[in-house]
């Protein structure tokens, strides 16, 4: 196989919510509480939800910037690639990157839509969550059939409303939802509680994949405030390991054919994770009474129900047999700082070239399209239009060179550059949170 023949589907990318998101999906009455995109005195774009400043809109949307300007600082829409928030520019950037299809998570409203959970008026919260889903399915995904895989939010503060929304979006052709990796951390019943049984049943009946993104519940801890931030960044993907173990022991996996995607979690740690799970089961199930079905061990359940993904993971791809060739998919993570845009085909091919073509096809796109029930080839008019070579030919006009959008302030005379610490970033987030908590500013 040649690079140009690769077909690439990303199961984890992100949308920076555009200013027009709610324009076409609220009734006239609902527009009275529609969120607004504003700009503060420092030129930072932010949303106003229920009268409160909510979320710096450009957080971590650094794709395409010179790396010296990377960071977590909040910026405005015009300080990022337009593809971060504009669907037309996004598709052009996908073409330039040779990526056929992408599944996207929100940013400001949080990966699992948890922003809406804090609303005092839950009726308004539900209306806005549904408006987000309609915009995401009809506009973001609907504008270019075959290019973006719908991924809905659910109002899981209300289990009946959650079941209704699952049925509603499934009728619109969406078979994916984003959920917290650990709702107990957010004050809800654990995933083992019967409270969620109607949701599990609805997911099974509507062929719905449950995407649990890192940071949607459990968080990667900072070792200390003096620790280099690099240490925290290193552990972010595998911060999902505790939640993965929790979901692996979910009893309803023996009752329903649920599909769970560990989003942005990496794969290199999976072989030991499965080995440890099976070992622990063998050593302890006699007294813990854990059970995975007749003659089955935890790794059997994992390979039946779970999908993992990676950005750049040579170790994991050297151990595909220990993970399962049907359980691995690719993620681009556009527009986050880990994204390899626009060099994904080259980097991915280098990591996959030792594998048979049949396995390469599964990992690069086949597993994702099958698990997410997404017929990209049919919608695109044939497989030959979906390859890296075909897509890049459409993007010959796209400028992919690194751009400068204005970096950090220059060092003062005599000041020496030092390592950025967890304390530096935590303080920055706390400062943003103070702004977010303020009462509505005067227009």
pLDDT, tens digit, 9 for 90 and up, residues 405-415: 877 667 778 88
pLDDT at 96 over 80: yes
Q: What is the pLDDT of residues 263-316, one digit of tens each?
A: 999 999 999 999 999 999 999 999 999 999 999 999 999 999 999 999 999 999
pTM, to two decimals: 0.95
Confidence at 43, pLDDT banded by 50, 70, 90? confident
Q: To 5 degrees, how large is the angle CA 178–CA 181–CA 184?
A: 120
CA distance 264 to 178: 13
Residues 6+ apart with CB under 8 A from 230: 419
Tell me what the mean pLDDT of segment 90-116 comes to: 97
CATH of the domain at 393: 3.20.20.140
Q: What is the mean pLDDT of the chain?
A: 94
Q: Is residue 46 in a domain?
A: yes
Residue 438, pLDDT score: 53
3-state secondary structure of 148: strand
Domain span holding position 320: 3-436
Is residue 441 in a domain?
A: no
Residue 439 confidence class, pLDDT cut points 50, 70, 90:
very low
**Is residue 266 left, alpha or beta, with left meaning phi > 0 and alpha meaning psi from -120 to 50?**
left
Instruction: Give the mean pLDDT of 218-235.
Output: 94
Instruction: Indicate whether 442 belongs to any domain.
Output: no
State residue 226's pLDDT score: 97
Contact 106, 17 (CB under 8 A): yes
Give long-range contacts, CB 8 A cutoff, 24+ apart: 69-72. Answer: 69/404, 69/405, 69/406, 69/407, 69/408, 70/337, 71/408, 72/425, 72/428, 72/429
The fraction of the chain above a pLDDT of 90, given in percent, is 86
In a domain, 443, yes or no: no
Query: pLDDT tier at 435 (50, 70, 90 boundaries)?
Result: low
What is the C-alpha to C-alpha distance for residues 25 and 166, in angstroms, rounded to an integer? 18
Q: Is the pLDDT of residue 441 over 50?
A: no
User: 427 pLDDT band (50/70/90 cuts)?
Assistant: confident
Residue with structure tokens 């990526």?
A: 99
Rounded Cα–Cα distance for residues 50 and 119 (Å): 7
- What is the count of structural domains for the chain? 1
CB atoms within 10 A of CB 361: 17
- At 50-69, the pLDDT tens digits run 988 887 677 789 999 999 88
Is residue 48 a part of any domain in this protein? Answer: yes
Q: Mean pLDDT check: name the lowest of 4-18, 78-92, 419-433.
A: 419-433
* 426 within domain boundaries: yes
Q: Give pLDDT tens digits for 135-180.
A: 999 999 999 999 999 999 999 999 999 999 999 999 999 999 999 9
Contact 71, 408 (CB under 8 A): yes
């Amino acid at each position: 196989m040649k690079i140009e023949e690769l077909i690439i589907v990303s199961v984890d990318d992100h949308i920076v919510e555009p200013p027009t998101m709610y324009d076409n999906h609220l009734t006239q009455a609902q527009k009275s509480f529609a969120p607004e995109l504003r700009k503060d005195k420092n030129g930072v774009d932010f949303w106003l939800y229920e009268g409160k400043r909510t979320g710096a809109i450009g957080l971590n949307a650094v794709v395409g910037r010179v790396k010296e300007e990377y960071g977590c600082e909040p910026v405005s829409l015009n300080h990022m690639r337009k593809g971060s928030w504009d669907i037309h520019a996004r598709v052009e950037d996908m073409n330039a990157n040779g990526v056929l299809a992408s599944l996207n998570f929100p940013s400001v409203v949080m990966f699992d839509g948890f922003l809406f959970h804090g609303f005092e008026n839950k009726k308004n919260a539900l209306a806005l969550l549904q408006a987000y889903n309609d915009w995401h399915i009809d506009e973001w995904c609907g504008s270019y059939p075959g290019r973006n895989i719908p991924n809905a939010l659910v109002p899981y503060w209300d289990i009946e409303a959650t079941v209704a929304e699952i049925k509603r979006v499934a009728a619109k052709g969406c078979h994916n939802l984003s959920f917290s990796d650990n709702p107990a951390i957010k004050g809800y019943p654990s995933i083992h509680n019967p409270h969620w049984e109607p949701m599990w049943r609805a997911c099974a009946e509507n062929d719905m994949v449950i995407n649990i993104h890192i940071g949607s519940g459990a968080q990667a801890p900072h070792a200390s405030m003096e620790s280099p931030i690099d240490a925290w960044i290193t552990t972010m993907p595998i911060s999902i390991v505790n939640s993965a173990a929790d979901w692996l022991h979910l009893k309803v996996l023996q009752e329903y054919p649920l599909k769970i995607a560990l989003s942005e979690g990496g794969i290199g740690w999976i072989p030991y994770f499965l080995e440890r799970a099976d070992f622990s089961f063998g050593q302890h199930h006699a007294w813990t009474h854990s059970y995975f079905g007749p003659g089955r061990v935890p790794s059997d359940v994992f390979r039946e129900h779970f999908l993992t993904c990676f950005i750049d993971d040579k170790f994991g791809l050297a151990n595909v047999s220990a993970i399962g060739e049907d359980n691995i998919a690719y993620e681009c993570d556009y527009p986050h700082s880990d994204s390899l845009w626009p060099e994904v085909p080259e980097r991915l091919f280098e990591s996959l070239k030792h594998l048979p073509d049949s396995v390469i096809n599964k990992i690069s796109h086949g597993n994702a399209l099958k698990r997410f029930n997404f017929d990209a080839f049919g919608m695109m008019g044939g497989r030959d239009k979906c390859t890296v070579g075909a897509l890049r030919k459409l993007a010959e006009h796209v400028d992919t060179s690194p751009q400068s959008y204005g970096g950090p302030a220059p060092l003062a005379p005599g000041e020496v550059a030092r390592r950025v610490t967890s304390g530096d970033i935590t303080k920055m987030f706390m400062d943003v949170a103070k702004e977010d908590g303020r009462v509505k500013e005067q227009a």
